[in-house]
Amino acid sequence: MEASIIAQYIHFTEEQKRRANSVDLPEFLRRRGEKLLPSGRDKRLASDHSVTVRGNQWFDHATEQGGLAIDFVQKFYGLSFPDAVTALLGGESGIGYLPARKEPAEQRKPFALPPAHTDMRRVYAYLLQSRCINRDVLTEFARAGLIFESAEPSADKTKIYHNAVFVGNDEHGVARHGHKRSIYTSGKSYRGNIESSDPRYSFHWVGVSDQLYVFEAPIDLLSYISLHQEDWRKHSYVSLCGTSEHAMLWMLEQYTLLGEIVLCLDNDNAGVKASKRLTGILSEYGYENIRIDRSEEKDWNDELVRACETEEKMTMEME
């Protein structure tokens, strides 16, 4: 308590504040014991998947707020401005944090899906066996060209990498978005959007009813349908591939029949925050028929896997 009071009276020079604001946040977080997950060129907080950091910058995709190192430490550690600066400068611990490297401006590459493998054997095995996705549901999306298995050569051309690719098409049926998910059950897993993907067109299904179901991830979308198969083709579904509202709003703009929105985001802190934020955005756009359907487990795939395990156990007991 006394240290906090003393810190409030510390005068920092502009140079000290500049150095604090330039600290490399991934390094700072790792040294504080935080776990970070790869997310394209960014790092995502394992404790809050809506927050990404890169260099000395951060962004909360749930609240659409972001900034530099000092306000990150203030917001996520509940510190005052002087205490945040002191922490970033090393404080009493004497730890020196490296500044973030300046990244050269890069030219945005045109969007392109990775090359497809000749079959989907690995993707089917992964989604059916490890994720318990219903075969008929998976086949329907695969036939529509919305899911395929990639075959991408490594940089030295000695290996071929296989991923599940979830495709998002625009209103003309042209692919504008792709989300890749590794299909290996051991070792490091990977998931992320293909470079230059347009967030408005992420993985979705268009039905004929007025219902739109909204998810964070493609596998959760498929899991929900697997759990609720009755007349599923009639309804519309969209995966945000995160928690940003862009794809949801594009669906509502393109398909004006949609009027009942069901938010099916994860049952964790980030998902609850995002559901609240998306409800507010929908209300601002004049949508009133909004409801939340939250899984009992952390997400819909966890619930599907649990249901499959329960069914398998019951079958074994009957035998």
All residues at 6 or more sequence positions from 118 whose CB lies less than 8 Å from its CB, including other chains: 151
pLDDT in tens, 225-275: 999 999 999 999 999 998 889 999 999 999 999 999 999 999 998 899 999
Residue in 239, 241, 251 with CA at minimum distance from that of residue 285: 251
Amino acid 155: pLDDT = 85
User: What are the extents of the domains in the chain?
Assistant: 2-93, 121-318
Average pLDDT over residues 162-168: 97
Amino acid 62: pLDDT = 66
Distance CA 148, CA 159 (A): 19
Average pLDDT over residues 151-167: 92
Q: Quick one: 235 exposed, middle or buried, by C-beta within 10 A (0-12, 13-18, 19+)? A: buried
Amino acid 145: pLDDT = 97
Task: Give me the count of residues in the chain.
Answer: 319
Q: 46: pLDDT confidence band, cut at 50, 70 and 90?
A: confident
pTM listed for this prediction? 0.72
Characterize 42-79 residue by residue with b for buried, 16 or more Cβ atoms within 10 angstroms of its Cβ, and e for exposed: bbbbeebbbbbbbbbbbbbbbeeeeebbbebbbbbeeb
Return the CATH architecture of domain 2-93.
Alpha-Beta Complex (3.90)
Question: Is domain 121-318 given the CATH code 3.40.1360.10 in the classification?
Answer: yes
Helix (H, G, I), strand (E, B) or coil at 88: helix
Distance CA 181, CA 83 (A): 40
Amino acid 132: pLDDT = 97
Q: 8: pLDDT confidence band, cut at 50, 70 and 90?
A: very low
Give whichever of 83-87, 109-113, 262-266, 280-284 has the largest mean pLDDT: 262-266
Give 55's DSSP letter: T
Q: 103: pLDDT confidence band, cut at 50, 70 and 90?
A: low
Q: What six digits make up the tokens of 173?
A: 């049926």
Tell me the torsion sign for CA atoms 231, 233, 236, 241.
positive
